[in-house]
A and B are shown apart, each in its own frame.
Chain A
Amino acid sequence: MIDAVGSPQSLLLLGGTSEIGLAVAERYARARKSMRVTLAGRPSDRLDAAAARLRDLGATVTTLPFDARQPDTHTEVIEKAFADGDIDVTLVAFGVLGDQEEAWTNVDVARELAEINYVAAVTVGVPLAERLRKQGHGSLVALSSAAGERARRSNFVYGSTKAGFDAFYTGLTYALKEHGVTVTVVRPGFVRTKMTVGMKPAPLSQTADQVAEVVVNAVRTRREQVWAPAVFRGVMSILRHVPRPIFRKLPF
């Protein structure tokens, strides 16, 4: 259960090696010695290393094989994740960025982006919503992106998948509210992680840990939509209304 001061007892991370996801897990594990964490991701050394790091902080960690590319397995993955009991906080944190020029010219690259970032988000989202509805409490945090807010020349394929992702989880916010579940859609801007390595950081760029802090505070205060950093909300609400002829000439 999430207690009166917003501390959960259990966490499921879908995208078990997500840097933002792990930063959230570490924050919780530091705050509470007996945190139960499930890392769902493709089996790898990185996943095992992440589990070991959380164990060192005192958490009880299980790893669960999860491949976003295999939507047929997702219901079973969610069932397994909930087999040990209720889950207080679930983070949907998997996704790929890809090479954006290839993404709109190469059908295989485009399809992979769409399958991982959107289709898989829905095929885990549906069984997840069902489990959370039944347990009658909990927090579901979906890592969306500011890129989904308005398509840009530089990353519109990624942006289009996140737009779909964002709409789906925003819808869940409404659908699950009466069942005692808070869904939080998090919209970070540019985050300096392995996903963006080699790219020139955009203005207002964040570290994974800064986004994690935003997530933890949003869970504590049961917010349904947050931006990271918070000023992005204002920035994007202006950008959203910039006329197209001007918008396409902007340097990002």
Chain B
Amino acid sequence: MYESALGRLGRVDPELRTLVGWGRTAPSTARVVVPRTVDEVIEALRSADERGVIARGLGRAYGDPAQNAGGLVIDVTGLDRIHSIDADAAVVDTDAGVSLDTLMRRLLPFGLWLPVLPGTRQVSVGGAIGADIHGKAHHVEGSFCEHVESMDLVTADGEVHTLTQDDELFWATAGGMGLTGVVVRAKLRLNRVETAYFKVDTDQIDNLDELMARQSVDDEKYLESVSWFDSTVSGPHLGRGILTRANHATLDDLPKKLRKNPLKFDAPQLLTVPNVFPPGMLNKLTARMFCELWYRKSPTKHGAIQNITMFLHPLDIAGEWNRVYGPRGFLQYQYVIPFGHEDAVKRSVELMVETGHVSALNVLKRFGEGNRAPLSFPQPGWTLAVDLPVRRGLAELCAELDELVLSTGGRLYLAKESRATPEAIQRMYPRIDEWRKVRAEVDPNGIFVSDMARRLRLT
């Protein structure tokens, strides 16, 4: 990775860089520093001017939360040490700049597993806390911060606070999009696994109603559960899709060949996508072809053994895959709509199909309970995520979807958000004023600020 290469060199002198999120949509320029130690983080904070400062990890948020136009950005990937792995207690003590990919590679030999893994392993621990990320196991495991035993947060005054789940500031930082301070280190509680493989049940289901119904019946029997759906067909097969659900495979589940090395980190990255794609590569035709293939390649099959890449992170097989969307970029629209509003979920898919804004990567999942963090995204309900290339009419479609989501009491995920209005976000996160109060106490001069915070008037 480009960012982590810089991190290894270490850099306290700021460098002017134009930054974008994973969607490559709204560039802005900031002075970027790459501190190697907590002292260097504190030193960097002191150099912040009236344009403020924000921390940045691996830049996987789709929009602009890790950008700070005209100000300072602290790239935390220079904080890259794993301090200890306690295999007996199943706890890892790690710097915030370490990626989940690196952690998994180090933890698996001990039979330890990160309980919450998002759709990519290329996120930093700090970013995972700042967005309180979730994964396919949310209905069982909850979100990332629920497994954080403690975290070290450098606040605006340059003090390092070790926070636990008893602290209000802990929960303001969970999902707080980096606006309470810089997370520099954390202790994470881990699960134990016998193997690095999954025992997967795949169901091919030919319409959205049934897909949702099936997912609702016995989700609890599985640790991981998610469905992919086709957003290019309308009519009776609207939202046909593939439901995949899995549990960790035990040693006995594995075929003989895999039993020799059951904890092998089996997740290759085969290629890096070159930056050569023109705008409009993902269009109706290519999306339809992709969806048709994806649907057909996954017939109903139960009990299959799959590795990490096949089951959890198929996109991690290609580096920089966001380049496929071309220079105009794309956005991810991810909402949660509470249970009981299944008609609104269906309507949202219809809207996308009707307006012809095609998406190939469409994910639908049931969330379990939310947590105490005022800005944490998950709440009981259906979460849907679609990747939409930026083109004319997308603003209008998203605004219409916002209204639909608001009418059900649902919300958008800030780690994916890149175009909503401040008014909508205020209504989606009714506890945001509670969060603002905690934040104002710990950062009275408002030195922590990001493009997202400016755009959505979060602070």
Contacts and interface: CB of A to CB of B under 8 A. Distances in A.
Interface of A: 1-7, 9, 31-34, 86, 134-137, 178-181, 217, 221-222
Contacts of B28: 1, 136-137, 180
A3 B70 contact: no
Contacts of B395: 5-7, 31
A136 B421 contact: no
A136 B30 contact: yes
Contact of A134 (B16, B70, B331): B70
A32 B451 contact: no
Contact of A136 (B29, B394, B455): B29
A2 B390 CA distance: 14
Contacts of A31: 395
A149 to B, nearest CB: 27
Given A4-B25, A178-B18, 8 more contacts: A2-B26, A3-B25, A34-B423, A136-B30, A136-B68, A136-B70, A178-B29, A181-B29
Contacts of B394: 5
Nearest to B398: A5
B454 A4 contact: no
B18 A3 contact: no
Nearest to B331: A4
Contacts of A34: 421-423
B30 A7 contact: no
A179 B51 CA distance: 14
B451 A137 contact: yes
Nearest to B279: A221
**Closest 8 pairs (CB-CB, A-B):** A180-B29, A136-B70, A4-B418, A136-B69, A4-B25, A137-B69, A137-B28, A1-B455
Contact of A3 (B16, B29, B423, B455): B455
Contacts of B23: 4
Contact of A137 (B29, B418, B422, B423): B29
Interface string B357-397: 00000000000000000000000000000000010101100
A5 B331 contact: yes
Contact of B70 (A32, A137, A178): A137
Interface of A is mostly: loop
Nearest to B21: A4
Contacts of A32: 421
Contacts of B69: 1, 86, 135-137, 180
A1 B18 contact: no
A134 B31 CA distance: 11
Give the interface SS of chain B, mostly helix, strand, loop or mixed: loop
23 contacts: A1-B69, A1-B451, A3-B419, A4-B26, A4-B331, A4-B418, A5-B395, A5-B398, A5-B419, A7-B419, A31-B395, A32-B421, A134-B51, A135-B70, A136-B51, A136-B71, A137-B26, A179-B29, A180-B28, A180-B69, A181-B29, A217-B392, A221-B328
A222 to B, nearest CB: 8
B63 interface: yes
A5 B328 CA distance: 9
A179 B31 CA distance: 10
B65 to A, nearest CB: 12
Given A136-B70, A180-B28, A3 B418 contact: yes
A88 to B, nearest CB: 9
Given A86-B454, A137-B451, A180-B18, A3 B71 contact: no
B27 interface: yes
B64 interface: yes
B130 interface: no
Contacts of B331: 4-5
Contacts of A135: 51, 69-70
A74 to B, nearest CB: 22
A59 to B, nearest CB: 14
Contacts of B51: 134-136
Contacts of B422: 34
A193 to B, nearest CB: 26
A217 B328 CA distance: 12
A1 B64 contact: yes
B329 interface: yes
A136 to B, nearest CB: 3
Interface in B6-51: 16, 18, 23, 25-30, 51
B71 A5 contact: no
A167 B289 CA distance: 47
